[in-house]
Structure 1
Amino acid sequence: MKLALYRAKLRAQRAAKTVVGKAAGSAAIGALHLARKFDPAKTADFFGALMRKLGPMLPEQRIGRANLVAAFPEKSTAEIEAILAGVWDNLGRSGAEFAHLDSVWDYDPDHPEHSRIKVTPRSLELFKQLQDDGKPALIFASHLGNWELPAVAAVAHGLDTAVLYRRPNIEAADRIVEEIRSVKMGQLVAAGRTAPFKLAQALQEGKHVGMLVDQHFSNGVDVTFFGQTCKANPLLARLLRQIDCPLHGARVIRLPDNSFRAELTEQIQPARDAEGRIDIQATMQAVTSVIEGWVRETPEQWLWLHRRWR
C-alpha cells in the first residue's frame, strides 16, 4: 500500500512538473514574441528598471551578495548593494535584448560614428586577422555585459563560427531560444556528451569555436577566481590540446544610452607542461584570470547570481 502511494505521488509530481514546465515555456515564448513588437532600447530600459525592483526579492539576491562580499571584502555595504542593483539591471536588459538578437548588433564598419556598437581599433585588427589567417580559433567569453553579442558579432561580419550553448530546462522555451539564436549565431552546438566531438570537428573544418567558460563545472579543474578556488570546465583547453590554434577572449560591455563596446583580447598563449603539451589546468587558470580582470573593471555587469564557489 505504501509503495503504491509513493508511486502515485511520484507520478503526480511528474505530471505537475510537466504542466508547470509547459506553462512556463508558453509564458517565455509569449514574452519573447511580445518584446519583439517594441523598440529594443525602450524595452531594455523597461526590463532593466523592472529587474532592479524585482531582483532583490528573489533568492539569488542572497547568493549575489555573498559572492560580492567574498570577492570584494574591502567594499562597503552600500557599494555591494549598488553593484547588485547593476547586476539585476544588466540581467533585465540582456533578457529584453535577447528578443532582438537579429537587430541589436548595429555596427557599420564604413560609418562607425553612426553605430550603436563601439569597437576599439586594435580589436578590429585582431578580428581581421581571424578572418584572413586561414586558421580555426577558440574564442572564450563570460556572462558579462550582453554575453550573447560576441557570437552575433562574429557571424554579422563574416566569421565562420560554431557556438556552444546550454539548452533551457523547459522544452518549449528551448525551441524559441534556439530559433532566435539560430538567426545570427552560426552553427549551434548544445552542451552534452557529443559536444566535444562536434566542436573538435568544427575546428578541423576551420571554424571559430566560441563558448562561455565562467560557470561552475562539477568535474572541472581547480582554478583561482578572486582569491578563491572554484571549478572550471576544461573543454576549451582540451580542444586546444587536440587542435593547436589561436586563443582569444571576447567581451561586449554595456555603455550608457544603450550602446556597447566590443573587444577582442590579444592572442593568449596557453600554458604548456615539461613535454610541451597544453597544460589543461594552467591554461584554464590563464583564461580565468583574464575574466577576473574583466569583472573587476565592470563588476555590475557580471552575473554574480550563481554559486561560482562551492
Structure 2
Amino acid sequence: MAKRSNARRRWNRLVGYRLEAAGLALLLGLLRLLSLDAASALGGRLAGMLGPRLGASRRMRRAIARSFPDMPETEREAVLAGAWENFGRTMAEYAHLDTLARDWDRRVEMSGGEHLSALAADGRPGIAITGHFANWELAGMACARHGVDLTFVFREPNNPYAARRLAAARAALGGTMVPKGRAAAKGLLTAMRSGGHVGLLVDQKLNEGIPVPFLGRDAMTGTVMADLALRFDAPVVPVRVTRLKGARFRVEAMPPLVFPRSGDMQADVAAAMAQVNALMGDWVRAAPGQWLWQHRRWPD
C-alpha cells in the first residue's frame, strides 16, 4: 500500500500535475476566446445542467430544506438550480477577472464606497468581510478601487502548476495572498500590526472554530475575524455582492459593524461571530440561489 501511495505521488509530481495544469490552461484559454458575457453564460448553462445530477446536490437539497423548512419544494429546487448556475458563471468568470476590473463602471452598481474609502484613510488596521455570494471576488476588487490594500487567505491547490495559473488569473484582484495554513495567521497578524487591512470570507465551516447559529442551526465558525477585530480595535466593513443579470452585479459596502465589549474576551468573540453569522444569514435569505450551497457548512 505504501509503495502504491509513493508511486501515485511521484506520478502526480512528474506527470499528473502537469497534465492537470495543461487542462486548466486550455480551459482558461478557451474561455478567454469568448467574451465575458458568453463565457459566464456558458459556465452557468453547463453547471445548471450537470450540477443537479451530481451527488453533491443531495447534500445541498438537505441543507436548503433544513434552512428553509417552510419553502415549497418547487422553490427549493429553484434555489438549487440557481446555486449551480451561479457557481458555473463564477468559475467561468475567473478567466475574465481582468475584464471585470476594466469594465467595472459599466458592469457594477457600487454603493457605500465611502465606507471603504474611510477604512483606507483612517490610519488604523481594518477588516473587510464578505461571503460566497454571486461572484465574491468583486468584494476584493471594490476594496482595491477604494484604496484598501487587502491581505487575504486562500486555499492553495495541491497542484503547484495549477496554483500558479490561478494566481495569475487572480492578479486583477490586487492585494496580497497568503496560503491557508500556518503562514496565514502570520500574514494576517503582520498586516494588522503594520496598520494594514485584511479581507476575510466568513461563511465557511472551520472545524477548529466554535458552534454559532447560522440559518437556524449551529455551524462550526472560525473566530479569526472577531479575534483580530477585538484585539486591534479594528473596524469591520461588510461588503455584499449580488448578481443582477448575467455578468452584471451590485456591490454594497456597509457601515462598520459595532461589536459588544463585556471584558470577557471569549464571550465577546462568540457574540461578534453570532452577529456576523446573522448578517450572512440575512444575505442568504435575500438571495438564496446566489450562495455557495456546495460548501459543506453543516454536518449531515
Normalising by the smaller structure, the TM-score range is over 0.9
Q: Does 1:181 align with 2:198?
A: no
- In the alignment, the residues of structure 2 paired with residue 185 and residue 285 of structure 1 have an alpha-carbon distance, to the nearest angstrom, of 30
Kindly, what percent of the aligned residue pairs are identical? Answer: 34
Deviations 1:94-134 (A, max 9, x none): 011111111213334xxxxxx211012xx122223223322
Q: 1:234·1:284 contact (CA, 8 Å) conserved in 2?
A: yes
In the other structure, the counterpart of 1:197 is 186
Deviations 1:71-100 (A, max 9, x none): 011112211111111001100110111111
Q: 1:141·1:147 contact (CA, 8 Å) conserved in 2?
A: yes
- In the alignment, the residues of structure 2 paired with residue 145 and residue 151 of structure 1 have an alpha-carbon distance, to the nearest angstrom, of 13
- Out of 86, 92, 96, the residue aligned to residue 90 of structure 1 is 86
Give the letter aligned to residue 109 of structure 2: K
Deviation (angstroms), 1:206: 2.4
- In the alignment, the residues of structure 2 paired with residue 266 and residue 275 of structure 1 have an alpha-carbon distance, to the nearest angstrom, of 25
Give the letter aligned to residue 108 of structure 2: I
Deviation (angstroms), 1:280: 1.5
Deviation (angstroms), 1:15: 4.4
Structure 2 gap ranges (5+) = none
Q: 2:125·2:197 contact (CA, 8 Å) conserved in 1?
A: yes
For structure 1, which segment, 198-207 or 70-79, has the greater mean C-alpha deviation from structure 2 after superposition?
198-207
Deviation (angstroms), 1:189: 1.5
> Which runs of structure 1 show a deviation greater than 4 angstroms over 4 or more consecutive aligned residues?
15-21, 275-278
1:132-281 paired onto structure 2 within 5 Å:
132-275=121-264, 279-281=268-270
- Out of 11, 24, 27, the residue aligned to residue 6 of structure 2 is 11
- Out of 260, 280, 289, the residue aligned to residue 291 of structure 1 is 280
Q: 2:115·2:237 contact (CA, 8 Å) conserved in 1?
A: no
Give the letter aligned to residue 110 of structure 2: V
Deviations 1:252-304 (A, max 9, x none): 11002431000112211123234578822211111111111101000000011
For structure 1, which segment, 189-198 or 125-134, has the greater mean C-alpha deviation from structure 2 after superposition?
125-134
- In the alignment, the residues of structure 2 paired with residue 225 and residue 187 of structure 1 have an alpha-carbon distance, to the nearest angstrom, of 29
Q: Tell me the C-alpha RMSD between the 2 structures.
A: 1.9
- In the alignment, the residues of structure 1 paired with residue 113 and residue 179 of structure 2 have an alpha-carbon distance, to the nearest angstrom, of 29
- In the alignment, the residues of structure 1 paired with residue 223 and residue 37 of structure 2 have an alpha-carbon distance, to the nearest angstrom, of 37
Deviations 1:42-66 (A, max 9, x none): 1101111111111112121111111
Deviations 1:160-192 (A, max 9, x none): 221221112332221111122233321111111
TM-score after normalising by structure 1: 0.89
Deviations 1:231-270 (A, max 9, x none): 1111111112331110111121100243100011221112
- Out of 25, 29, 36, the residue aligned to residue 29 of structure 1 is 25
In the other structure, the counterpart of 1:69 is 65
SS at match of 2:205: coil
Mark the CA change 1:201 to 1:171 in structure 2 (over 3 Å): closer, same or farther.
Answer: same
Q: 2:113·2:146 contact (CA, 8 Å) conserved in 1?
A: no
Structure 1 gap ranges (5+) = 1-5, 109-114
SS at match of 2:249: strand
Higher helix share: 2
Deviation (angstroms), 1:34: 2.2
